[in-house]
């Protein structure tokens, strides 16, 4: 394959990651606006994100296997077309239930094109640094497209750095050490958000470092797992392998978000003695109880990160280097 066709292929396939990331991150950023326009209480707004993640996670394995059997190119095209059509319809849905349903349909489409994109990359590029760069570019595409404030710029910068750093260390460092480092970064990021911070404290004191660690840790983790999975599977199962990793991530995101939201609402209710404000989100900005609820949810994230660190240290202790080219 010529260099031009290779570049075109990677750019096309990274569109799957672009749409997947865009669908999740834009929904998170505009949640208050959607909730206000569709009259959705704050306690139920997480379903706008969870509906997408749950639908995607539940169908990833099915689409991945169908892609391996009937052709990755066909499933990728069908999934991409489905996502485009449903995404165009979503803004015109006038009520909460309908909007959640169509968010789920969006996730159904992403479940088709995301694992097939990984599968196509896995069979096109042999193990080695070219494969590492291709996989990393697939994940990074679109990371910075929806950032709206300067406080989110570190995520884009760290995403670019992660591409180069991770592609190098994968060929030199044992995978268990990389995964332990990634879970450690994510845990410390959650800890920095969880500790009480005075109102006069600047973003650069805690938030900047937390954002950088979060992106660097999460991107390193995900790509290491994807490459490890791809290198251990035959070519005919590449799409299914990509589906497995993404299914765990999507379902875990939905469940974790639901639990964290429940913790946040419960803690806010206990502190301000007002069930209605915790559920509807009224008066959230500058509310001490609201910040307390968010910190409680962040402590839950710290606990999950610590558990992930221990799990990785135990289950991947025998793993070796995965990024070297096979001789």
Residue-wise pLDDT for 178-230, tens only, equals: 899 999 999 999 999 888 877 677 777 777 888 888 888 888 887 788 777 77
DSSP assignment of 37-67 equals HHT--GGGTHHHHHHHHHHHHHHHHHHHHHH
Domains within the chain, CATH numbers bracketed: 3-315 (1.20.1250.20)
Section 48-59 average pLDDT: 83
261 CB-near residues (< 8 Å, 6+ apart):
43, 46, 297
* pLDDT above 70 as % of the chain: 81
Is 83:24 a contact under the CB 8 Å cutoff?
no
Structure pTM? 0.61
Direct distance between the N- and C-terminal alpha carbons of the chain, in angstroms, rounded to an integer? 21
**Spatial distance between the Cα atoms of 90 and 100, rounded to a whole number of angstroms:** 9
Q: Is the separation of the CB atoms in 198 and 240 below 8 Å?
A: no
Lowest mean pLDDT among 48-62, 140-154, 157-171, 185-199: 140-154
- State the chain's mean pLDDT as an integer: 77
Question: What are 101-136's pLDDT values in tens digits?
Answer: 999 999 888 888 877 887 777 677 655 545 555 555
Q: What is the DSSP letter of 233?
A: S
pLDDT per residue as tens digits for the range 282-292: 445 556 777 88
Query: Does residue 281 or residue 57 have the better pLDDT?
Result: 57
The confidence score (pLDDT) of residue 165 equals: 81
| pLDDT at residue 247, as a whole number | 75
Residue 304 CA to residue 314 CA, distance in Å, equals: 15
């Amino acid at each position: 394959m010529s260099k031009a066709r290779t570049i075109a292929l990677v750019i096309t396939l990274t569109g799957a990651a672009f749409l997947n990331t865009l669908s999740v991150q834009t929904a998170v950023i505009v949640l208050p606006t959607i909730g206000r326009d569709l009259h959705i209480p704050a306690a139920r707004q997480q379903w706008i994100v969870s509906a997408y993640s749950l639908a995607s996670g539940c169908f990833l394995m099915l689409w991945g296997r169908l892609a391996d059997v009937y052709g990755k190119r066909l499933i990728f095209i069908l999934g991409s077309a489905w996502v485009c059509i449903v995404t165009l319809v979503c803004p015109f849905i006038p009520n909460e239930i309908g909007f959640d349903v169509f968010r789920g349909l969006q996730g159904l489409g992403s479940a088709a094109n995301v694992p097939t994109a990984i599968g196509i990359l896995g069979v096109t590029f042999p193990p080695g640094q070219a494969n590492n760069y291709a996989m990393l570019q697939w994940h990074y595409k679109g990371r910075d497209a929806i950032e709206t404030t300067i406080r989110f710029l570190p995520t884009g910068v760290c995403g670019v750095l992660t591409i180069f750093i991770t592609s190098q260390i994968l060929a030199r460092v044992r995978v268990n050490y990389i995964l332990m480092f990634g879970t450690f970064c994510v845990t410390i990021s959650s800890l920095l958000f969880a500790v009480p911070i005075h109102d006069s404290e600047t973003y650069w004191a805690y938030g900047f470092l937390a954002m950088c660690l979060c992106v660097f840790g999460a991107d390193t983790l995900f790509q290491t797992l994807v490459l490890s999975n791809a290198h251990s599977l035959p070519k005919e199962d590449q799409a299914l392998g990509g589906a497995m990793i993404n299914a765990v991530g999507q379902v875990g995101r939905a469940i974790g978000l639901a639990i964290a939201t429940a913790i946040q609402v419960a803690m806010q209710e206990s502190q301000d003695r007002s069930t209605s404000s915790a559920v509807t989100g009224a008066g959230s900005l500058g509310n001490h109880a609201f910040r307390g609820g968010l910190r409680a949810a962040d402590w839950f994230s710290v606990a999950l990160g610590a558990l992930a660190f221990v799990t990785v240290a135990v289950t991947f202790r025998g793993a070796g280097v995965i990024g070297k080219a096979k001789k």
